[in-house]
A = this chain, B = another copy of it.
Amino acid sequence: MDRTEILKALAHPARLEILNQLKDPHTHFPTQEHPLELGVCASQFERCGLSQSTVSAHLGTLHRAGLVTTKRIGQWIFYKRNEETIAEFLATLQKEL
């Protein structure tokens, strides 16, 4: 867990919002055809006005920071919050900030 890497990943409104919406997929992504238990697939995040490639870049940043996990099923990639890393990050920040 790289604290600075995580802080950089969090320091962008779009990525903060992605993480926030992933907390409650049923309210934010009611239109997804696949069961939300699998996660949320990338294209769902394009509603916020960003292009497909930009969304993909943001998801990549979150993934490299360890804040989300991915699971490929067929042609889709499902994203979920990585609660373990997030909790560890918050605990570290509480202690060391």
Contacts and interface: CB of A to CB of B under 8 A. Distances in A.
A10 interface: yes
Nearest to A4: B13
A19 interface: yes
Main secondary structure of the interface of A (DSSP, over half): helix
Interface of A: 3-4, 7-8, 10-13, 16, 19-20, 86, 90, 93-94, 96-97
Contact of A93 (B8, B12, B93): B93
A45 to B, nearest CB: 17
Nearest to A96: B20
A59 B62 CA distance: 28
User: Which of A4, A10, A90, A97 is the most central at the interface, judged by chain B CB atoms within 10 Å of its CB?
Assistant: A97
